Amino acid sequence: MAFFGTMASVLDKLTGSGTTRLVVNKLISDYGTLSQLAIDKDKKQIRAQFQLKGERSPINIDLNNYELQKSALVVKSAKADKPWAQAVLDNLLIDRAIEIPPEYIDIINELL
């Protein structure tokens, strides 16, 4: 999810438009919608809020201390406000390389 949020942020910065939620929501439409996204380059933090199908309240996720490697994004720590979402982050995201398509590497390295 961090990669999709990053790509949406890149689109916003490049186009100056509010395309972030539209792009991410299209990518995650089977699961729910993204309602908020903020990326702080200096703090290496990505904050997102999702309204997932089947959930009554939004899920907040903070991705902290990410690293950009040659062709991947690695999140070192993450917090979710729902225990099951925290388990997903811990088991499937933390310290795992998320491959970045070659055509986006230079843009992401510059922006993050």
* C-beta of residue 105 within 8 angstroms of C-beta of residue 82: no
Domain count, the chain: 1
CA–CA dist 6, 53 (Å, integer): 22
pLDDT by residue (tens digit) across 35-79?
888 878 889 888 899 999 999 999 999 999 999 888 888 999 999
pLDDT of residue 93: 93
More confident residue, 13 or 53: 53
CA distance 33 to 108: 23
Q: Which tokens belong to 103?
A: 């055509």
Residue range of the domain that includes 21: 2-111
**Alpha carbon distance 30, 52 (integer Å):** 9
Whether the CB-CB separation of 74 and 98 falls below 8 Å is answered with: yes
Task: Among 9-23, 47-61, 78-92, name the one with the lowest average pLDDT.
Answer: 9-23
Put simply, whether the predicted model's pTM sits higher than 0.75 gets the answer: no
Look at 19-23, 31-35, 48-52 and tell me which has the smallest mean pLDDT: 19-23
Determine the pLDDT at residue 20: 58
pLDDT of residue 110: 65
Going by pLDDT thresholds of 50, 70 and 90, the confidence category of residue 3 is: low
